[in-house]
Structure 1
Amino acid sequence: MNSANSAIDDMDRALVHALQLAPRASWELLGPVLGARPDTLARRWERLTGTGEAWLTGIGLRTGVRPPCMAWVEVTCAPGTSPPVGDALVADPYTLGVEHTTGGRDLLVFVALPDLPALYRYLSSRVQLIPGVIGTRTSMVTAVHYAPDRWRLDQLAPDQIDLLTGRTRRSAHATVPATAPVAPLQYEDRPLVRALASDARRSVASLAREFEMSESTVRRRLTRLEAGQSLRYSCALASGLSGWPVSATLWAEAAEYELADCAAAAAGLRETRTCMSVSGPWNFMISVRLRTVEDLSRYTADLTRRLPGLRMRDSAVSLRVRKSEAQELGPRGHRLRTVVPDIWSDPDPAPSGPVGL
């Protein structure tokens, strides 16, 4: 859908912002905060998700009690082959993000696999065998300082945010311990997490019917995974409609003892979507959302002004984001479909013949 023809309005943006703060809050709880009837909010959300203008996904980034092996893979392609290479990577359940970018790589891909040996097999037997791929460079994620699900729209007023967060804290107080330990994502939890990848607002009743569990069992599992940080939710609005249509990635270098300060400074800037410590040529990576391409230089200047010891080494603007948080996206950033992630199984070798073509 062309954004010029979209019927999206400020109430829709406020609804998305509210669901970023309280992803599974009931419409009855959200209604007084947004000043709308619960059934009106439900209809709006059904329209937004039906057109791919907005979505809410659940991601389980844990193998047992440990995070998976995550990495950024820069892919270089033969001339004219980056679109079909991108097609193959978008369809892959091990990729959570795929972008066509400027700079010294054709594609920037975020992957998650069970462990280092699985990552090696995945790169050598799948990615590097895709027709058109002529080179890869991999940077391991060693720490996630600021995750993408923490980025917010700026539609709600401060008093609405306070009211919403206060309501959700009170509603969760009876079931979630104040300091919940890390919850293992167990084998039997995986189907439940996969089911939330395309629609994290699925009702407990529908999940219970699908997996032949009691509603209390489903509710208990979700509460444990949410409180133990093994299941996180991400609500997004199509980039062309959000007011922040430009995505960019920066690579920087800093002394290891300064990385926590770097992360705190980056997290304090409105545009920061995620920042991570990585291995490779440089040890710090930031992804940002911008209103215009020209804002990239201002953002970089703001960051280096706050951190004179941070040395910016490279940057790339996304020409097109093909996949984000396991969602395949269209040219205007609308969701086309969900590619359900499978970060727990060992990747099979590439099938014989062209991959993804």
Structure 2
Amino acid sequence: MQDHVTLDELDLQLVNALQIQPRAPWALVGKVLGLDPVTAARRWARLTRAGAAWVSCYPPETERQSTAFIEIVCEPGHSLAVARELAQDPQAMTVDVTAGDRDVFVTLHTPDEEVLADYLLERLGGVRHLHRVRSHLQVKNYIEASRWRLRTLDRAQISLMTPEPAEHTPTLRPLTDEDWAIAVTLAADGRASLDALAAAASVSVSTARRRLNRMLADQQVRMRCELARPLTGWPVYAWFFARVAPEHMDAAGHALARLPEVRAVMGTAGPYNLIVAVWLRSLPDVQQLEIRISRTLPSVDIVDRSVTIRPLKLVGRLLDKRGYAAGTVPLDTRRLSGAGNSPSSTPD
């Protein structure tokens, strides 16, 4: 169990700064927050040690990557056990136990369609106590959760933290085993040193730096700074499942992405064609937001919704009962490993 932690305004600003630039040097972070770099680093170490905040990494982008959202209805009394088993899988990037018409909701990320099919047909086929499984393949991403911000910095601070736009056209290149080793290390600690990345990939520090910079520039790896949800002021986590006429999809997706409560908006192929993740300040706000969406976006028909009652995993990071970081699962999504993975630790 992690230590109890109380955040002050500087802690929240620190997290906000790293949300903008997750691997920013401490000298820059300290300058923006009015701290010396050692103090900024010490504050961050305190937050990560408590599991209150962390920087993680998405699986590397590939040309054939596939993402799916899986709804699972379990036999009575087995939801938590099923969710815990699936949370050990690298491909199961996010795992939630939910209230509503699904017991477990999984965000699945695979490097290609073959691994996706193997997971849906073989891996899930070997999981006990499943009553019903329904999957939705992602076809478009309107906004993803790494862009969500605490909004505790002022405009001047945000400007200082925001990198200059790179004059570079992202290119999805074939990834080597060394690239994957760097990505897996970043998933466990997004601010891992170049020395640690070089050691993991068995390359020189200069080569590790070059490979990391290339993957970041090509957006083949994306970093993300997280704060345990109970500490954000937005403790309620819900999913909306909607249907939108095809001619209104893009307009609706972009409009939903602008709402401050919205964490992610995905266009999907399945029983619903739009899935939305939201963070809210209270449970009644779930209904209030749905009413607001129906009034302002009449093309969006929210046909179902679920509230997360126990998040077990978030972008590869295992969570305890409070939603604090409690360990990681190795991020290599290239092959199925099934149950029995050995994470660095497991949720309480």
Query: Fold conserved (TM > 0.5)?
Result: yes
> Aligned pair 1:184/2:183, yes or no?
no
Contact 1:73 1:136 in 2 (8 A): yes
Change over 3 Å in CA distance of 1:349–1:92 after alignment to 2: closer
Aligned partner of 1:25: which letter?
A: A
Contact 2:236 2:283 in 1 (8 A): yes
> Aligned pair 1:305/2:304, yes or no?
no
Aligned partner of 1:336: which letter?
A: A
Change over 3 Å in CA distance of 1:337–1:247 after alignment to 2: same
Aligned partner of 1:292: which letter?
A: S
Name the residue aligned to 2:196: 206
Give 2:125's match in structure 1, choosing from 99, 124, 128. Answer: 128
Find the aligned partners of 1:105 and 1:6 in 2 and give their Cα distance.
33
Aligned-residue offset at 1:244: 1.1
Find the aligned partners of 1:281 and 1:329 in 2 and give their Cα distance.
29
Is the partner of 1:105 in helix, strand or coil? coil
Root-mean-square deviation (CA, aligned residues, Å) is: 2.0
Name the residue aligned to 1:35: 34
Range 333-342 or range 204-213, more displaced: 204-213
Find the aligned partners of 1:261 and 1:182 in 2 and give their Cα distance.
27
Is the partner of 2:220 in helix, strand or coil? coil
> Aligned pair 1:45/2:71, yes or no?
no
Deviations 1:300-326 (A, max 9, x none): 223233321111111111111111111
Name the residue aligned to 1:104: 101
Find the aligned partners of 1:12 and 1:290 in 2 and give their Cα distance.
21
Is the partner of 2:237 in helix, strand or coil? strand
Q: Name stretches of at least 5 consecutive residues in structure 1 with no aligned partner.
A: none
Aligned-residue offset at 1:249: 0.4
Aligned partner of 1:35: which letter?
A: G
Q: TM-score, normalised by structure 1?
A: 0.90
Map of 1:78-117 to 2, 5 A cutoff? Answer: 78-117=75-114
Name the residue aligned to 2:183: 193
Aligned-residue offset at 1:248: 0.4
Find the aligned partners of 2:59 and 2:86 in 1 and give their Cα distance.
20
Range 154-163 or range 110-119, more displaced: 110-119
Name the residue aligned to 2:21: 22
Q: Name stretches of at least 5 consecutive residues in structure 2 with no aligned partner.
A: 341-345
Is the partner of 2:188 in helix, strand or coil? coil
Aligned-residue offset at 1:207: 1.7
Name the residue aligned to 1:152: 149
Aligned partner of 1:106: which letter?
A: D
Aligned-residue offset at 1:118: 2.7
Change over 3 Å in CA distance of 1:270–1:218 after alignment to 2: same
Aligned-residue offset at 1:185: 4.8
Find the aligned partners of 2:199 and 2:82 in 1 and give their Cα distance.
39
Change over 3 Å in CA distance of 1:229–1:185 after alignment to 2: farther
Deviations 1:132-183 (A, max 9, x none): 1121001111111111111111211222112222xx32xxx7xxx4132323
Aligned-residue offset at 1:350: 7.0
Find the aligned partners of 2:306 and 2:265 in 1 and give their Cα distance.
15
Name the residue aligned to 1:264: 254
Is the partner of 1:72 in helix, strand or coil? strand
Change over 3 Å in CA distance of 1:24–1:114 after alignment to 2: closer
Contact 2:16 2:151 in 1 (8 A): yes
Name the residue aligned to 2:207: 217
Name the residue aligned to 1:76: 73
Q: What count of residue pairs does the alignment treat as equivalent?
A: 340
Contact 2:59 2:331 in 1 (8 A): no
Deviations 1:55-96 (A, max 9, x none): 001123423xx1521111111111111111111011111100
> Aligned pair 1:238/2:235, yes or no?
no
Change over 3 Å in CA distance of 1:2–1:59 after alignment to 2: closer
Aligned partner of 1:318: which letter?
A: T
Find the aligned partners of 1:15 and 1:110 in 2 and give their Cα distance.
28
Change over 3 Å in CA distance of 1:248–1:225 after alignment to 2: same
Deviations 1:229-259 (A, max 9, x none): 1110111111111111111000111122221
Change over 3 Å in CA distance of 1:40–1:349 after alignment to 2: closer
Range 237-246 or range 304-313, more displaced: 304-313
> Aligned pair 1:10/2:14, yes or no?
no
Change over 3 Å in CA distance of 1:307–1:67 after alignment to 2: farther
Deviations 1:96-148 (A, max 9, x none): 01111111111001111233343232223222321211210011111111111
Find the aligned partners of 2:187 and 2:118 in 1 and give their Cα distance.
25
Is the partner of 1:126 in helix, strand or coil? helix
> Aligned pair 1:333/2:297, yes or no?
no
